[in-house]
């Protein structure tokens, strides 16, 4: 579905992704920028957003309930503004949850569904991805305001910060190795300095993003897992404290920056 759209757009715009066009670094970058501009008005993420809204409102599971009573932190059913204030502490769950975890929690408690969310882009996780996109889109343009009032929220920030600077693995990499300096890059990709407010806020609110390279919609946890791979670390388990803590760290670094999600990426 999504691939078809990309192909159609590429053909319609006369812009074809081909190897020779990408021979030179700068040309490639220009190409990607141009491609982004061309499809900016039609980010395929919108399809996920629509699907997410349907899933949110549709009764499902053994309890035959919709997710409309799900409390994303601002009260039952409040979607607008929720994304920019997550991760946060939830007393019913007794822990800090990000949007992905919270949605899985609501599917479980309200619908009686046990989402098998560990498999990215499969089955139930697809639903979570669509839901994340729907919810995130309702906060577009709103400033990041990840709460730090609860002791658990502060602890998670500290865990995230330590994880960010923790060096290990075969190359002795940490997140900071690639993401703590200005104007750095690996091959074609610019590396945001996640220790600075603006780039941290923009990176934090860039996900979920539609990835042109593989036609998939990726939420933040999946983005982070891919960086774990680049770091030569073992898989970052979905819903693990580490994953959520890294989000808290980036969100707090990026406080006040206006939310971009959902975006479109290489
Ligand atoms: C070996 C280098 C490397 C390491 C280590 C690394 N990353 Fe990344 N990261 C990248 C690259 C390259 C990209 C851009 C990927 C792309 O454009 O497809 C990226 C992208 C990101 C993004 C998305 C930025 C945006 O603007 O969309 C986030 C967030 C991120 N990394 C967080 C982290 C965190 C947190 C860690 C530590 C767990 C980490 N990265 C470790 C190389 C790295």
The residue-averaged pLDDT of 198-216 equals: 93
The residue-averaged pLDDT of 51-68 equals: 96
pLDDT at 82 over 90: yes
Nearest ligand 1 atom, CA 263 = 27
What pLDDT score does 28 carry?
72
What pLDDT score does 188 carry?
73
pLDDT at 21 over 80: no
What pLDDT score does 250 carry?
98
Cα–Cα distance between 217 and 130 in angstroms, integer? Answer: 8
What pLDDT score does 116 carry?
67
Cα–Cα distance between 265 and 215 in angstroms, integer? Answer: 10
Cα–Cα distance between 205 and 209 in angstroms, integer? Answer: 9
Nearest to 96 by CA among 150, 166, 165, 158: 150
What pLDDT score does 183 carry?
84
Cα–Cα distance between 244 and 229 in angstroms, integer? Answer: 17
CA of 179 to the centre of ligand 1 (A): 7
Of 230, 242, 247, 260, the one to substitute when testing ligand 1's pocket (max ligand atoms within 8 A of C-beta) is: 230
Whether the upstream peptide bond of residue 262 has omega within 30° of 0, thus cis, is yes
> Does ligand 1 come within 6 angstroms of the Cβ of 222?
no
Decide: 99 and 88 in contact? Cβ < 8 Å. Answer: no
Query: What is the token pair recorded at 234?
Result: 């073992």
Q: What percent of the chain has pLDDT over 70?
A: 84
- pLDDT-based confidence at 124, cuts 50/70/90? confident
CA of 227 to the centre of ligand 1 (A): 5
- pLDDT-based confidence at 33, cuts 50/70/90? confident
Of 210, 227, 237, 248, the one to substitute when testing ligand 1's pocket (max ligand atoms within 8 A of C-beta) is: 227
Whether the upstream peptide bond of residue 15 has omega within 30° of 0, thus cis, is no
Cα–Cα distance between 136 and 79 in angstroms, integer? Answer: 8
Per-residue model confidence as pLDDT tens digits over 127-173: 889 999 999 999 999 999 999 999 999 999 999 999 999 999 999 99
CA of 191 to the centre of ligand 1 (A): 7
CA distances from 197 to 182, 200, 208, 245 (A): 12, 5, 19, 17
């Amino acid at each position: 579905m999504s691939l078809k759209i990309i192909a159609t757009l590429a053909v319609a715009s006369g812009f074809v992704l081909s190897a020779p066009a990408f021979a030179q670094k700068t040309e490639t970058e220009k190409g990607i920028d141009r491609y982004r501009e061309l499809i900016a008005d039609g980010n395929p993420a919108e399809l996920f957003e629509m699907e997410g809204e349907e899933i949110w409102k549709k009764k499902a599971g053994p309890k035959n309930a919709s997710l409309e009573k799900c409390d994303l932190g601002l009260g039952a059913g409040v979607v607008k503004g929720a994304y920019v204030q997550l991760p946060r502490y939830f007393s019913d769950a007794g822990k800090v949850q990000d949007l992905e975890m919270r949605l899985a929690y609501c599917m479980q408690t309200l619908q009686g569904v046990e989402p098998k969310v560990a498999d990215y882009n499969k089955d139930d996780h697809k639903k979570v991805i669509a839901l994340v996109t729907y919810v995130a889109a309702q906060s577009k343009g709103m400033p990041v305001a990840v709460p730090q009032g609860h002791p658990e929220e502060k602890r998670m920030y500290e865990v995230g910060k330590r994880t960010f600077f923790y060096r290990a693995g075969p190359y002795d990499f940490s997140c900071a190795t690639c993401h703590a300096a200005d104007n750095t890059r690996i091959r074609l990709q610019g590396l945001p300095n996640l220790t600075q407010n603006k780039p941290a806020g923009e990176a934090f609110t860039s996900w979920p993003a539609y990835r042109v390279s593989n036609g998939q919609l990726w939420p933040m946890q999946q983005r982070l897992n891919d960086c774990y791979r680049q770091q030569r670390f073992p898989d970052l388990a979905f819903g693990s404290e580490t994953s959520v803590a890294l989000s808290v760290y980036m969100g707090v670094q990026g406080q006040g920056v206006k939310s971009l999600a959902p975006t479109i990426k290489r």
